[in-house]
């Protein structure tokens, strides 16, 4: 790939997959059908990211605030997560994808945790797309858990206060060894971050589309990449 091309391609694309419920409502279907269609869309976009040679794809699948939805919906989403882990991991492994699940796993069932561990162990040496699935993830949680672990190390004398800078802090966040997102896509027309990667999105290019997540396809993904290629990133510097 030429330098020109590689520079205009985001290394890390993060997506807030929003609009499943509205998609279902539009189709006169129950909400769970929207989530099911959303899971299919995720599969398509994972393949599109592989085809486009994106290095890292992060998908926001369940936020730390999504527990406040009706029990029936949360239960369905948990069932869907387990189903995806049981049925899709082999396929991802065949595609050389390295899967990493980001979020507070302490609230998940032992069964889900075991499948996550197994999937990560199976795929961790893969050299293709790095796929991060954010579940029970909150940007504020991420920052607090990092602060707690750093505070503990300062209290026990492992770290000194003046060692705590942006670089060190970054290493305690869930994406410690992964470059931060270059492009954030949010579907469904909402223009907010909804507690996704707060720290990591500091200099991401933001792309909002009215397309509802289940309708977001390879063409829509390509359009977002094309838009990214036209942006001028400055990181606080000058043109
Ligand atoms: C995104 O779709 C999926 C999750 C947050 C789990 P929504 O369920 O938020 O769909 P809308 O926003 O209500 O349409
Ligand atoms: C963000 O969508 C979380 C995910 C897509 C997983 P929400 O639907 O939860 O966000 P709000 O409530 O509209 O901000
Ligand atoms: Mg939503």
DSSP category for residue 108: S
Given a cut of 60, whether residue 5 has pLDDT beyond it is no
Per-residue pLDDT tens over the stretch 67-117: 999 999 999 999 999 999 999 999 999 999 999 999 999 999 999 999 999
Residue 177 vs residue 146, higher pLDDT: 146
Q: Report the distance separating Cα 202 and Cα 184, nearest Å.
A: 11
Per-residue pLDDT tens over the stretch 39-64: 999 999 999 999 999 999 999 999 99
pLDDT classification of 156: cutoffs 50, 70, 90: very high
Distance from the alpha carbon of residue 87 to the mean position of ligand 1, in angstroms: 22
Predicted TM-score (pTM) above 0.75: yes
Spell out the domains of the chain, with CATH numbers in brackets: 3-229 (3.40.1180.10)
Distances (CA, A) of 61 to 20, 51, 66, 72, 206: 11, 22, 10, 17, 18
Given a cut of 90, whether residue 239 has pLDDT beyond it is no
Given a cut of 70, whether residue 1 has pLDDT beyond it is no
Q: Which residues contact 97 (CB under 8 A, 6 or more apart)?
A: 46, 50, 123, 126, 128, 129, 130, 131
Given 18, 20, 136, 142, the catalytic residue? 18
Residue labelled with tokens 């393949």: 47
Whose alpha carbon is nearest atom 11 of ligand 2? 194
Q: What is the pLDDT of residue 4?
A: 47
Q: What residues are neighbours of ligand 3 (ion), with CB under 5 Å? A: 18
Q: Report the distance separating Cα 34 and Cα 73, nearest Å.
A: 11
């Amino acid at each position: 790939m030429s330098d020109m091309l590689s520079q205009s391609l985001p290394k890390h694309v993060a997506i807030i997959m929003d609009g499943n419920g509205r998609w279902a409502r539009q189709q006169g279907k129950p909400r769970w059908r929207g989530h099911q269609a959303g899971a299919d869309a995720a599969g398509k976009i994972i393949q599109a990211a592989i085809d486009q040679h994106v290095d890292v794809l992060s998908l926001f699948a369940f936020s730390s605030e999504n527990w406040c939805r009706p029990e029936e919906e949360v239960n369905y989403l948990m069932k869907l997560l387990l189903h995806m882990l049981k049925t899709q991991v082999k396929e991802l492994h065949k595609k050389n994808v390295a899967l990493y699940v980001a979020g507070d796993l302490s609230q998940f069932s032992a069964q889900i945790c075991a499948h996550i561990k197994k999937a990560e162990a199976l795929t961790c040496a893969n050299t293709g797309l790095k796929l991060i699935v954010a579940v029970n993830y909150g940007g504020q949680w991420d920052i607090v858990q990092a602060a707690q672990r750093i505070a503990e190390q300062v209290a026990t004398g492992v770290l000194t206060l003046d060692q705590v800078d942006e670089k060190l802090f970054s290493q305690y966040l869930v994406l410690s060894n992964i470059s931060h997102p270059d492009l954030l896509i949010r579907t469904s027309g909402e223009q907010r971050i909804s507690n996704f990667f707060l720290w990591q999105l500091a200099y991401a290019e933001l792309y909002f589309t009215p397309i509802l997540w289940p309708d977001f396809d390879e063409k829509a993904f390509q359009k977002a990449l094309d838009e990214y290629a036209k942006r001028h990133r400055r990181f606080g510097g000058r043109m």
